[in-house]
Structure 1
Amino acid sequence: MRRAAVVQYHTSADSAGHNRNLIEEVLIELAARDPGGLDYQVFQFEDGTGFLHLAVFDGTADPFADCAADREFHRELEQRLATPPIISRAMLIGAYFGRNR
């Protein structure tokens, strides 16, 4: 069964760029390692400080457990945040990605 985690938060204006860079490092490491069973997307809101992470994964194991870039992302996350993160867990019903993906 596929599960999902959705995390939404805002950073301070002066931390948004650094936060985005750290996210990009996580994505680079995941692409290099290809942990399998994980779909991961991150969106930055138009206001520049809001972020939404969507991770859809198989099973119950943490797909980020062996990701050094993710550990670095979380290391000083609290100092970058302007609002506490809102974390929601869900089960995937279905998905549509279009034909020209």
Structure 2
Amino acid sequence: MAILMPTNVAAAWEELSFWELREEELDHVVGGINPQFSPDWYLADACAHRRNIIRDLVEHKLRAQNITEIQIRLEHLHHTGCLHDEKPATALIADLEALRERLESLT
């Protein structure tokens, strides 16, 4: 059975957090035994691929729906050091423009 993809930034971030925690857990086990392995090797290929897709959703592929989701995206990008990358920066600008348009349409 396929797992549905998250449809908003908050849900995507929640799933990404799960994958990152899973990598940390595996690092304690596998990394402690075989320190030559990198954390990217711990997840099965399908899991690592999904994690990468979810990361893209968080960073730039989903439009944030509210201030909370913009904050989630900003905090993630700050934590990972990706704020200067073009795709995430463009996504943040688009998030803010969409939010501004929504707020202006209320007046």
TM-score normalised to structure 1 length: 0.31
Instruction: Give the structure with the larger helix fraction.
Output: 2
Larger relative contact order, structure 1 or 2 (CA cutoff 8 Å, min sep 6): 1
